[in-house]
């Protein structure tokens, strides 16, 4: 396949498609990115560092990055359970479950925020019993923010683990049982190592999404600084105060995080492919 492509010196490509791609990418992506970098440079390194590490900003990083980590780890565990149920078990309502998993992708984030606030507020279906039983408020606290993050990052792990789990041979597990391993040993020594790249990749994607999430979190949080204010909301607040430099700086920090997480996710995926390739060979 590859050799044949190489033999053709000039593919009959419509050249306009190449031009459209670059013009579009330049206007829609490179220009805004460059503009923001330029504005960030204008701030100056000393001021940049001061704004980026101001107590207010640090508090939001702690909430955004910390809660997103908790949410994505929870989803790492339950995502595996759900993927297992979808691939390895047969039960009524399986298709419905499969469809529901995608709902957080399809549902507009504002609607998700409204729905979660309705359910977890003190009057809500879950908020009321939780408040009465444990005396904990969920909506309008950092716990609510975590719940919203769990909601929006749920599909990632399920969807990355599913194809890998499907391609796993039952024969390996049978071999492991035949060699005298218990079920737990088989799971931890045979199955889990093969699923690990997929799980990690899903967790990283979910984490990245949860950190950047705005719509659903802004509705379920009370947006009080140092309590449950997330970084994206801080950017919006700075913009509303016409404090453009501060918004630019905090925005650049988030952009840097997205770029790093993109690279990390890429690495994990390459690692996973190598693992699969080695296994096939």
Partner 1 sequence: MTFVTPPLEDVQPPKWVKPTFTMRLQKLGPVLIVLLACLYVGVVILLPAIAVVVQAFAKGLAPFLENFQSEELMSALRLTLLDAAIVVPANCIFGLAAATAIARRKFRGKALLLSVIDLPFSISPVVVGLMLVLLYSPTNGLFAGIINSLGWKIIFSTPGIILATIIVTFPFMAREVIPLLEEEGWDQEEAAKTLGANDWQVFWKVTLPSVRWAALYGLILTTARALGEFGAVSVVSGNIRGQTQTLPLFVEDAYKQYNTELAFGAATILGGVAIVSLLMKMLVERMLEHDRTTRGAEDS
Q: What's the min distance (Å) between Cβ of 94 and partner 1? A: 9
Distance of CA 135 to the CA centre of its chain: 30
Segment near partner 1 (CB under 8 A), from 45-53, 130-138, 150-158, 188-196?
150-158
- Within 174-213, which residues bind partner 1 (CB under 8 A)? 174, 183, 208-209, 211-213
Look-up: residue for tokens 């597990």? 173
Task: Report whether 110 contacts 216 (CB < 8 A).
Answer: yes
Distance of CA 193 to the CA centre of its chain: 22
- Residues that contact partner 1, how many (by CB under 8 A): 93
The residue (of 198 and 218) whose beta carbon lies closer to partner 1 is 218
Task: Report whether 196 contacts 114 (CB < 8 A).
Answer: no
- Within 50-109, which residues bind partner 1 (CB under 8 A)? 78, 81-82, 84-86, 88-89, 91, 93, 97, 99-104, 106-109
Q: What's the min distance (Å) between Cβ of 232 and partner 1? A: 4
Q: Does 168 bind partner 1 (CB under 8 A)?
A: no
Q: Which of 9, 17, 133, 277 binds partner 1 (CB under 8 A)?
A: 17
The residue (of 198 and 210) whose beta carbon lies closer to partner 1 is 210
Q: Which of 67, 116, 138, 200 binds partner 1 (CB under 8 A)?
A: 116
Q: Which of 33, 136, 179, 192 binds partner 1 (CB under 8 A)?
A: 33
- Within 231-270, which residues bind partner 1 (CB under 8 A)? 231-233, 235-236, 239, 244, 247-248, 251, 254-255, 258-259, 261-262, 265-266
- Within 124-143, which residues bind partner 1 (CB under 8 A)? 124-126
Segment near partner 1 (CB under 8 A), from 36-44, 54-62, 131-139, 193-201?
36-44
Q: What's the min distance (Å) between Cβ of 41 and partner 1? A: 12
| CA gap 94, 96 in Å, rounded | 5
Segment near partner 1 (CB under 8 A), from 32-40, 47-55, 134-142, 193-201?
32-40
Q: What's the min distance (Å) between Cβ of 182 and partner 1? A: 9
Q: 177 exposed, middle or buried (CB, 10 Å; 0-12, 13-18, 19+)?
A: middle
């Amino acid at each position: 396949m590859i050799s044949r492509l190489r033999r053709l010196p000039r593919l009959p490509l419509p050249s306009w498609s190449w031009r459209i791609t670059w013009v579009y990418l330049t206007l829609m992506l490179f220009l805004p990115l460059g503009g923001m970098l330029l504005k960030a440079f204008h701030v100056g390194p000393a001021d940049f560092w001061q704004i980026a590490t101001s107590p207010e900003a640090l508090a939001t990083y702690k909430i955004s990055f910390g809660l997103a980590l908790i949410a994505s780890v929870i989803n790492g565990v339950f995502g595996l359970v759900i993927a297992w149920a979808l691939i390895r078990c047969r039960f009524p309502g399986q298709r419905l479950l499969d469809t529901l998993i995608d709902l957080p992708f399809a549902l507009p984030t504002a609607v998700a925020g409204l729905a979660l606030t309705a359910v977890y507020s003190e009057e809500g279906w879950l908020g009321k019993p939780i408040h009465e039983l444990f005396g904990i408020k969920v909506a309008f606290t950092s716990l609510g923010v975590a719940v919203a993050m769990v909601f929006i990052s749920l599909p990632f792990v399920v969807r990355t683990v599913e194809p890998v789990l499907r391609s796993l041979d039952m024969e390996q597990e049978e071999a492991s049982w035949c060699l005298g391993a218990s079920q737990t040993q088989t799971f931890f020594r045979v199955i889990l190592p093969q699923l690990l790249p997929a799980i990690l990749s899903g967790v990283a994607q979910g984490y990245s999404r949860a950190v950047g999430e705005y719509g659903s979190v802004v509705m379920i949080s009370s947006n009080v600084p140092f309590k449950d204010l997330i970084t994206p909301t801080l950017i919006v607040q700075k913009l509303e105060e016409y404090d453009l430099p501060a918004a630019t700086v905090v925005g650049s920090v988030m952009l840097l995080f997205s770029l790093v997480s993109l690279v990390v996710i890429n690495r994990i995926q390459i690692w996973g492919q190598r693992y699969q390739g080695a296994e096939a060979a």
